[in-house]
Amino acid sequence: MTKNKLIGPFVQLLTMDKLPLKGGLKDSQLEIIPNGGVVVCDGKIVRTGNFDQLYSAYSGRLTVDHIEGAMVGMPGMIDSHTHICWAGSRANDYSQRLAGKSYPEITQSGGGIGDTVSKTRAATSDELEAVLAERATTHLKNGVTTIEVKSGYCLNTIGEVKLLEVIRKANQKLAVDLIPTCLAAHIKPSDFQGSPSDYLARVVIELLPEIKHRGLSKRIDIFIDKGAFTSEEARVYLKQAKQMGFELVIHGEQFTAGGVAVACELGAASVDHLEAIKDQEIQLLAASNVIPVALPGASLGLGCQFAPARKLLDAGCSLAIGSDWNPGSAPMGDLLLQTAILGIFEKMTSAESLAGITIRAAMALGLNDRGILKKGFLADMIGFPVSDSREILYHQGSLKPSAAWKRGAIFKAGEKGITGKQEKGWYFENGSFSR
């Protein structure tokens, strides 16, 4: 008895295959299979092609996930940058920002990241797991099947381990994949007595070995900018982390220069933000293998400029797009909407925008098993209830997927429960996935 399953027919199947990792993309480079189908076995893609031909080729020796009505299929979206494991709300900060207050003024009046840190430290693991699961499920309903999640809201050894343990536990229960990153180097916490370098040295001595020992994360992130860490401080920290075998990620060039040069020098996987990047740093990135990640959600949350996506692509850089979903600067958490907005302001082609949240985002996370619909890749797919792939960005984020498959297991809008990743069990047993 074969375990093969044929999913389709899709009016159009957008594979995101055969695209270069770097540089600008034309829409004519998109591989679109009309009347497409995907054969899946054990959570992985076996074949893609014409639905009817696939059905005949297996002469019925497969089960069929038959799609009723028009649907355009594409790889599940990948969000390569989030901070969705936090407690509390920063609505008060936001209202003050709307009223014209500056970030230092907001911080002085008890807001800012310090507020999130004290509430996240005080929260129990169960409370944090519940809010993380809720946000991750919202993302999944919106078509995001892999989510990077950073720690960084406890900023001490015990708390950062707590956050990474929460992320691991949620990942074991949820259908969506959570990719954990240690961001203990977010800022120096206000209760740490000593310099920023002393704080980073403490992280290296106390926290990083614990993360290794428990197998909690393979990735280390640091915020290089004014008010966070300098390039010099970061360089020492990152070199030590790299020696311990961690992959490096950098928050850079959000407000001031520094992060990109360090990222290129030390061979980081990605450098994220880039709202303030200058031409010289764009050239550095173009000549490197570091993936730039634009975070339009932070620009929308702060009311400031976008990363120069067009310039980066024209210079020959790759470009992933992340939501930066966090309580302070990017509370929205809608990756497709943000991608559509960045695309129209920066004049990105549909191919460039969609690659930024699929294959290029996978590369930013060092994951070479997803982001494309092709043989051997994970059967992580989403379907939009339209007949033309251009509709996806045209609706600027208001068009949501009506079905998604995680490792080949389907969950549909309106159905009870998430059946993805069944080997890990169901997380929402009472139908909280329905909408």
Under the rule (CB under 5 A), what is the footprint of Zn ion? 324
Residue of 214, 219, 255 lying closest to 238 (CA atoms): 219
Q: Residue of minimal CB distance from Zn ion?
A: 324
Asked if 40 and 46 touch (Cβ cutoff 8 Å), the reply is: yes
Taking the complex as a whole, how short is the minimal distance between the CB of residue 83 and Zn ion, in angstroms? 6
Give me the torsion for CA of 295, 297, 300, 304, rounded to 10°: -20
Measured between alpha carbons, how far is 142 from 137 in angstroms, rounded to an integer? Answer: 9
Taking the complex as a whole, how short is the minimal distance between the CB of residue 32 and Zn ion, in angstroms? 33
Taking the complex as a whole, how short is the minimal distance between the CB of residue 217 and Zn ion, in angstroms? 15
Of residues 324 and 380, the one with the C-beta less far from Zn ion: 324
Taking the complex as a whole, how short is the minimal distance between the CB of residue 333 and Zn ion, in angstroms? 12
Of residues 277 and 372, the one with the C-beta less far from Zn ion: 277
Of residues 8 and 152, the one with the C-beta less far from Zn ion: 152
Of residues 73 and 252, the one with the C-beta less far from Zn ion: 252
Taking the complex as a whole, how short is the minimal distance between the CB of residue 81 and Zn ion, in angstroms? 6
Taking the complex as a whole, how short is the minimal distance between the CB of residue 270 and Zn ion, in angstroms? 11
Of residues 251 and 370, the one with the C-beta less far from Zn ion: 251
Of residues 8 and 327, the one with the C-beta less far from Zn ion: 327
Taking the complex as a whole, how short is the minimal distance between the CB of residue 271 and Zn ion, in angstroms? 11
Taking the complex as a whole, how short is the minimal distance between the CB of residue 431 and Zn ion, in angstroms? 33
Of residues 115 and 324, the one with the C-beta less far from Zn ion: 324
Of residues 330 and 359, the one with the C-beta less far from Zn ion: 330
